[in-house]
């Protein structure tokens, strides 16, 4: 049986471990790294066939890990994940060698489909994509978390009134 060596690099430890377990169930042999430095070391040691790399890591930029993987294995299939999706970072990820760019929280099936896409084929669109309201909710939660649960700072960064943010946060998450 051909081993599918997968490197997963993310500084969110809970997400990293959950994705690692899920990918193992999907037939991959995952190696987990929580930083750019660990990711680059793992890229040199395991020479991965596949990789899922977060764009923003505490100690730097995930693009450095993508470049390290490309040096060892130009054929590696690399997916870039980020909670901060924008066109400029998507273009940078593709130029560095990523084959696809997915916004967090990414569905495991979407990641597997992207990794297993043949050649330059793009994976098919997700079967059950998140609603726009859910994407907005997830983004607000991520910024709130990054602001250490400071409501005023979160509102300032999202360019919204604090009371509006409080009302949104008091409601249940949309489906």
pLDDT band at 164 (very low <50, low <70, confident <90, very high): very high
Report pLDDT digits (tens) over 115-130.
Answer: 887 655 555 566 666 6
Q: How far is C-alpha 7 from the chain's CA centre?
A: 12
Instruction: Verify cis geometry, omega within 30 degrees of 0, for the bond prior to 105.
Output: yes
Rounded distance, CA 154 to CA 144, Å? 5
Return the closest-CA partner of residue 92 out of 53, 125, 118.
53
Return the closest-CA partner of residue 65 out of 23, 122, 10.
10
Burial of 94 (0-12, 13-18, 19+ CB in 10 A): middle
Structural domains in the chain, sorted by start: 5-116 (3.40.50.2300), 132-170 (1.10.10.60)
77-81, 106-110, 121-125, range with the lowest pLDDT: 121-125
Count of all residues that appear for the chain in the document: 175
pLDDT at 1: 46
Report pLDDT digits (tens) over 18-33.
Answer: 999 999 999 999 999 9
């Amino acid at each position: 049986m051909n081993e599918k060596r997968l490197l997963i690099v993310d500084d969110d430890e809970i997400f990293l471990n959950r994705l690692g377990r899920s990918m193992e169930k999907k037939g991959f042999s995952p190696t987990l790294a929580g930083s750019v430095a660990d990711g680059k070391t793992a890229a040199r040691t395991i020479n991965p066939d596949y990789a899922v790399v977060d764009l923003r890591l505490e100690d730097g930029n995930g693009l450095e890990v993508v470049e390290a993987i490309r040096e060892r294995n130009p054929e590696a299939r690399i997916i870039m994940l980020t909670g901060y999706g924008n066109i400029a970072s998507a273009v940078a990820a593709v130029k560095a060698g990523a084959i696809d760019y997915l916004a967090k929280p990414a569905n495991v099936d979407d990641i597997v489909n992207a990794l297993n896409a043949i050649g330059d084929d793009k994976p098919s669109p997700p079967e059950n994509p998140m609603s726009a309201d859910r994407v907005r909710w997830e983004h607000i939660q991520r910024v709130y978390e990054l602001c250490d649960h400071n409501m005023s700072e979160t509102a300032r960064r999202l360019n919204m009134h604090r009371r509006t943010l409080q009302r949104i946060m008091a409601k249940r998450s949309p489906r």
